[in-house]
Amino acid sequence: MALDMSNVVTFEELKSKGNEILRENDLAEFTDKELADLEVWHIGITTRIKKDAEHCDQPSVYWANWRFAGGYQMIAEGSVDDKAKQLDFREMNFHGMNTSRSVSMWGFMFDTETREFSKHT
């Protein structure tokens, strides 16, 4: 089955939403270096999505754009699921999310205080 990448957030969407959140919180927009780092993160996650989807019969991609997570954190997160897998309501993670169809889950964070990115998988 072909991978539908329409739910993949583009680099431009990440840049635009990130700068919007930063402005709303009276913080400086992304610097050129931060944008270069963000582009590297975006390429890495997009590559991972494609690789993980190869292990699915019916791949489904979820990727949410930046949200302000409180404190000093902005987070963008997503997952690759296989819709062909049986849904099992006994498989939950500590966030209360059903993981029975999950192939991978990730998030990457931007710390608005240190101005650094980090990845969470």
Residue at 2 is within a domain: no
Residue at 87 is within a domain: yes
**CA distances (Å), origin 72, targets 58, 68, 79, 95:** 37, 8, 23, 20
Measured in residues, the chain has a length of 121
Residue at 6 is within a domain: no
Q: List pLDDT tens digits, range 33-70.
A: 999 999 999 999 999 999 989 988 999 898 999 999 88
Can you tell me the distance from the alpha carbon of 66 to that of 86, in angstroms, rounded to the nearest whole number? 30
* CA 44-80-39 angle, 5° bins: 20
Q: Which domain holds residue 96?
A: 11-120
Q: What is the DSSP string of 37-92?
A: HHHHHHHHHHHHHHHHHTT-SSEEEEEEEEEE-STTEEEEEEEEEETTSPP-TT-B
Number of domains present in the structure of the chain: 1
Residue at 1 is within a domain: no
Q: What's the mean per-residue pLDDT of the chain?
A: 88
Residue at 3 is within a domain: no
Q: List pLDDT tens digits, range 67-78.
A: 998 889 999 999
The pTM (predicted TM-score) of the whole model is 0.83
Residue at 45 is within a domain: yes
Residue at 104 is within a domain: yes
Residue at 4 is within a domain: no
